[in-house]
Amino acid sequence: METATQQVLNQSDLLKHWKGHRMLTRKLIEAFPEQELFTYSVGGMRPFAGMVMELIAIGGPGVQEIVTGQTEELNEHLAITTKDQLLQKWDESSELIQTYFPQIPAENFGNAVTTFGKYKGTVWSSIFYFIDNEIHHRGQGYVYLRALGIEPPYFWDR
């Protein structure tokens, strides 16, 4: 008996899924008052702007590195001091993802990579880490907004 193999998720679907997360995280950034975005924290965690700078430093540059093979050190300490600057960098990082992600050959997703010169995994595991890390930090942002008395965007509104 011959069994057909069906792909559950293709590269285009994964990119669409990630872009949905990126749009939602952008809405969360927009929901923050400017000052609290850079100063408010709970339980000793970083302000949300610091978390977003980490995400900016990882997502776009990480995918670009996977495609080009050019390694750069992870730099999440960006000279950003306003919400507009943060959103501009967010959009630039999202554009890097949009540009480079489709250039990853499907057969390379299982290949071993070392991102930022030190994080070993596969293309798949690296991309899933980029997405999971964004979801994790966005969850922290939701807590911050609720603690500030601000209704965050619905988590399914992607």
Is residue 60 within 8 A of residue 54, CB to CB? The reply is no
Indicate the pTM of the whole model. Answer: 0.90
Q: Which two tokens mark 37?
A: 């975005």
Tell me, what amino acid is at 131?
Answer: I
H-assigned helices in 32-122: 34-39, 48-68, 83-100
Cα 95 from chain centre? 12
Supply the pLDDT for residue 10.
Answer: 84
The 10s digit of each residue's pLDDT in 50-61 is 999 999 999 999
- Give the pLDDT band (50/70/90) at residue 98: very high
Cα 129 from chain centre? 9
> What's the average model confidence in pLDDT over 122-132?
96
